[in-house]
C-alpha cells in the first residue's frame, strides 16, 4: 500500500470522521485519480495561508485541515511574545461560519482568546480588527474571488498585514509537526464562550473601521451627494460596510443588484465572483441600462477588490480595468492633495512589479517616490509598516495592484474595497464637476502619458500532474530563455528567483521587450495557474491592444511547452 492509499485508508477508518466527508470518501472507493488528488499532498500553506477545493482529504479545505493549520498557528503564537489574542472573520463562502468557529475552538483550547465577528464581514475589516483589538494574529476564512467550490484561510500578523515570508515558514513548520487528528487540541465552543476564551467582536470595532475609511477623504466632498450608483456585493460580504460608508458620504441614490445582494456561497449568477471579469459584473451592467447611474461598483466576496463601470458616451457602460483605476486614483490623489496643501513631504506610492508601467511617469510628474513590490498586497502593506517604523507613516499616499486592489491610508494593511468605494466616488464627483466621466479621465491621462495597455492570460493546470507541468514550464524558461516574443526582441530578462533584484526571491520571470513592452510569467500562489502579464505602450489604444494580442498568442504557444 503506497502513502496516498495509506492516508485514504486512515481517514476512512476513523469512526468519528465528519459524516459528509466519510460519505465522499466512500463514494470514490477504487477511483485512483480521485483518491490521489485528495491525498497526494497536504494543502499548501504560504503567505496567503490556505486555499483549496472544499471536500475530504489532506489536499482539501475541511474542518480537519483548518484545525491542523490553527493548531500550528497556536503553537507558533504561544512560542512568541505576541499577544495571545486572534481576530477571526469569514465571508459568504460555504462552511465559512463553520471554519471560523473551528478556528476559535482550537485557539481557545490552546489558551488563546479568539475574537469573532458575529456575522460575515470584509477582509479589510479583519485587518482593522487585528490592531484595534490588540491581537497577535488574525484569520479570515475566505477564498477571495475563486469559484464556489473553494474556500480558504488567510493569516494576518499583529500589524494587520498578511503574514511575511519568514512568519509563514515558521507557521508552516509548526503545522507540519501536527498530526491532523491526534495532534489538535479542541475546546467546546459554548464552554469557551462562557470562559471568555471565545468572544464576539463588538459593533464598536466595525463602526470604527468605517469611520477610519471615511477619514481617508482626499477632497472636500463637493457634489458627491449627487452621485447615482448601482452597487453589487457579488453575493459576498461588502454590503453592510459599503452601505454604511455611502451613508456617511451622503450618497443616497444607490441601487443594489437584487440577484447579487444577499450572501450566497453558490454565487449563482457567475462562476467566478470576481469584479475583474465581465461576466461577474453582467447583472450590474444590465441594471445600469435601466437605472442609468453615474457609476457601477462591484466588490468581490471578501470585499477587498473593487470593480467599476462608467457611461461610455454611446448609451452603454465600459468597465475600467484595475490598472486604469489605479492610475486615475493615483493622479486624483496627487493633484487634489497638492491643490489642498495636504501632500506630505517626500510622498510615497506603492505598486507591484506586474502593475502598469504608466504609474512611473505619473508619480514622477507629482514628485512622488514610486516603490514596486512583489505581487500580493501584503508587500504593499509591508511598505506602509516600514514607513510607520521610520516615524513617517504620513508619507504613504496610495497603493494599488492591477488586480483591482487599492488603499489610500494606513488604517488597514490590505487592499480595501470599502476604501476604494470612497476614492472612486470622490474622483467621479470631482470629474463630474467638470462635466467629465472617469472614462474621460483615463482618456486624458492616456493622451498625456501614452497609451499604456495591459492584458492578462491565465493557464490552468489541475491536479498533481498539472503542478509538475507548471514546474517544468518555468524550469524550461529558465534553462532556455526566449530571445524574442511575438517578434519583439527581448532586451533584458530578469529572474526574480535569483539574487540581486532588491526584492525577496519569487518565482517570476520578466522580459523587457523592444518598443517599451513587457512580458511577465508568474505561477499563482493560490490557484493551479500560470499567469502571463502583458504590457504594451503605443500612441493609440488600438495599437497597444494589437501588441498585447500578439503577446497573448505567444503566451498560449509558450504554455503548451
**Strands lying side by side in the sheet with 317-320:** 253-256, 228-232, 295-299, 306-311, 317-320
Give backbone dihedrals phi and psi of 115, rounded to 5 degrees, phi first.
-110, 110
Q: Specify the pairing of strand 198-200 against strand 113-116.
A: parallel
Do the Cβ atoms of 355 and 453 come closer than 8 Å?
no
| Beta-bridge mates of residue 456 | 533
**CA 202 remoteness from chain centre:** 25
Judged on CB neighbours under 10 Å (0-12, 13-18, 19+), 527 is buried
Q: At what angle do helices 417-432 and 239-249 cross, to 10 degrees?
A: 40
* Contact status, residue 496 vs residue 503, Cβ threshold 8 Å: yes
What residues have CB less than 8 Å from 501, skipping those under 6 apart?
Answer: 494
Which candidate in 92, 127, 144, 457 is catalytic?
144
- Catalytic: 457? no
Task: Sheet containing 348-352: give its strands across.
Answer: 369-373, 348-352, 396-401, 405-407
Q: What is the 3-state secondary structure (H, E, C) of 362-403?
A: HHHHCCCEEEEECCCHHHHHHHHHHHHHCCCHHHEEEEEECC
Task: Look at residues 295, 222, 231 and name the one whose alpha carbon lies nearest to residue 258.
Answer: 231
Alpha-carbon torsion angle 539, 540, 542, 548, nearest 10 = 40
The rounded distance, in Å, linking the Cα atoms of 451 and 277 is 22
Q: How far apart (Å, rounded) are the C-alpha atoms in residues 237 and 159?
A: 23
Containing H/E element for 278?
A: helix 278-291
Q: Cα separation of 382 and 127, whole Å?
A: 13
Strands (E) in 82-126, as ranges, are 85-90, 113-116
Taking each helix axis as running N to C, give the angle between helix 203-214 and helix 123-132, from 0 to 180 degrees, rounded to the nearest 10: 110
Q: Cα separations (Å) of 532 from 260, 274, 458, 470?
A: 30, 18, 6, 13
Residues that are catalytic: 144
Amino acid at each position: 500500500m503506497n502513502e496516498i492509499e495509506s492516508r485514504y485508508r486512515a481517514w476512512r477508518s476513523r469512526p468519528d470522521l465528519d459524516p459528509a466527508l466519510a460519505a465522499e470518501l466512500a463514494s470514490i472507493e477504487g477511483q485512483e485519480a480521485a483518491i490521489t488528488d485528495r491525498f497526494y499532498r497536504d494543502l499548501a500553506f504560504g503567505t496567503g495561508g490556505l486555499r483549496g477545493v472544499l471536500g475530504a482529504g489532506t489536499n482539501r479545505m475541511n474542518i480537519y485541515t483548518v484545525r491542523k493549520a490553527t493548531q500550528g498557528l497556536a503553537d507558533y503564537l504561544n512560542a512568541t511574545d505576541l499577544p495571545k489574542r486572534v481576530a477571526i472573520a469569514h465571508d459568504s463562502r460555504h462552511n465559512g461560519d463553520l471554519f471560523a468557529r473551528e478556528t476559535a475552538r482550537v485557539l481557545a483550547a490552546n489558551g488563546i482568546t479568539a475574537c469573532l465577528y458575529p456575522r460575515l464581514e470584509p477582509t479589510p475589516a479583519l485587518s482593522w480588527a487585528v490592531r484595534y483589538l490588540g491581537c497577535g494574529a488574525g484569520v479570515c476564512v475566505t477564498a477571495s474571488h475563486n469559484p464556489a467550490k473553494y474556500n480558504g484561510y488567510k493569516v494576518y500578523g499583529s500589524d494587520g498585514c498578511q503574514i511575511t515570508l519568514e512568519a509563514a515558514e515558521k507557521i508552516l513548520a509548526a503545522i507540519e509537526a501536527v498530526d491532523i487528528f491526534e495532534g489538535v487540541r479542541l475546546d467546546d465552543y459554548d464552554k469557551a464562550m462562557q470562559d471568555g476564551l471565545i468572544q464576539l467582536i463588538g459593533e464598536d470595532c466595525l463602526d470604527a473601521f468605517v469611520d477610519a475609511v471615511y477619514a481617508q477623504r482626499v477632497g472636500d466632498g463637493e457634489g458627491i451627494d449627487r452621485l447615482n450608483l448601482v452597487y453589487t456585493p457579488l453575493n459576498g460580504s461588502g454590503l453592510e460596510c459599503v452601505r454604511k460608508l455611502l451613508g456617511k458620504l451622503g450618497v443616497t441614490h444607490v441601487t443594489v443588484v437584487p440577484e447579487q445582494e444577499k450572501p450566497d456561497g453558490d454565487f449563482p449568477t457567475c462562476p467566478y465572483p470576481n469584479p475583474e471579469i465581465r461576466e461577474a459584473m453582467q447583472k450590474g451592467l444590465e441594471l445600469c441600462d435601466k437605472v442609468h447611474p453615474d457609476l457601477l461598483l462591484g466588490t468581490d466576496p471578501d470585499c477587498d477588490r473593487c470593480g467599476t463601470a462608467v457611461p461610455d458616451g454611446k448609451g452603454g457602460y465600459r468597465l475600467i480595468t484595475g490598472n486604469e483605476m489605479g492610475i486615475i486614483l493615483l493622479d486624483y490623489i496627487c493633484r487634489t492633495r497638492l491643490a489642498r496643501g495636504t501632500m506630505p513631504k517626500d510622498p510615497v506610492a506603492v505598486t507591484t512589479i506586474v502593475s502598469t508601467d504608466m504609474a512611473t511617469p505619473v508619480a514622477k510628474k507629482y514628485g512622488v517616490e514610486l516603490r514596486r513590490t512583489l505581487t500580493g498586497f501584503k508587500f504593499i502593506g509591508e511598505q506602509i509598516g516600514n514607513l510607520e517604523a521610520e516615524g513617517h507613516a504620513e508619507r504613504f499616499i496610495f497603493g494599488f495592484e492591477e488586480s483591482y486592489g487599492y488603499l489610500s491610508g494606513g488604517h488597514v494593511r490590505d487592499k480595501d474595497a470599502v476604501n476604494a468605494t470612497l476614492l472612486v466616488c470622490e474622483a467621479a464627483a470631482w470629474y463630474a464637476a467638470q462635466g467629465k466621466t472617469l472614462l474621460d479621465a483615463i482618456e486624458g491621462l492616456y493622451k498625456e502619458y501614452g497609451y499604456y495597455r495591459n492584458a492578462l492570460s491565465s493557464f490552468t493546470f489541475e491536479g498533481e500532474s498539472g503542478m509538475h507541468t507548471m514546474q517544468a514550464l518555468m524550469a524550461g524558461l529558465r534553462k532556455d530563455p526566449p530571445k524574442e516574443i511575438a517578434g519583439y526582441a527581448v532586451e533584458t530578462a530578469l529572474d526574480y528567483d535569483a539574487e540581486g533584484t532588491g526584492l525577496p526571491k519569487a518565482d517570476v520571470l520578466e522580459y523587457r521587450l523592444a518598443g517599451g513592452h513587457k512580458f511577465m510569467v508568474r505561477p499563482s500562489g493560490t490557484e493551479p495557474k500560470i499567469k502571463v502579464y502583458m504590457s504594451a505602450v503605443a500612441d493609440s489604444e488600438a495599437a497597444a491592444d494589437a501588441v498585447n494580442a500578439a503577446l497573448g498568442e505567444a503566451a498560449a504557444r509558450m504554455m503548451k511547452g
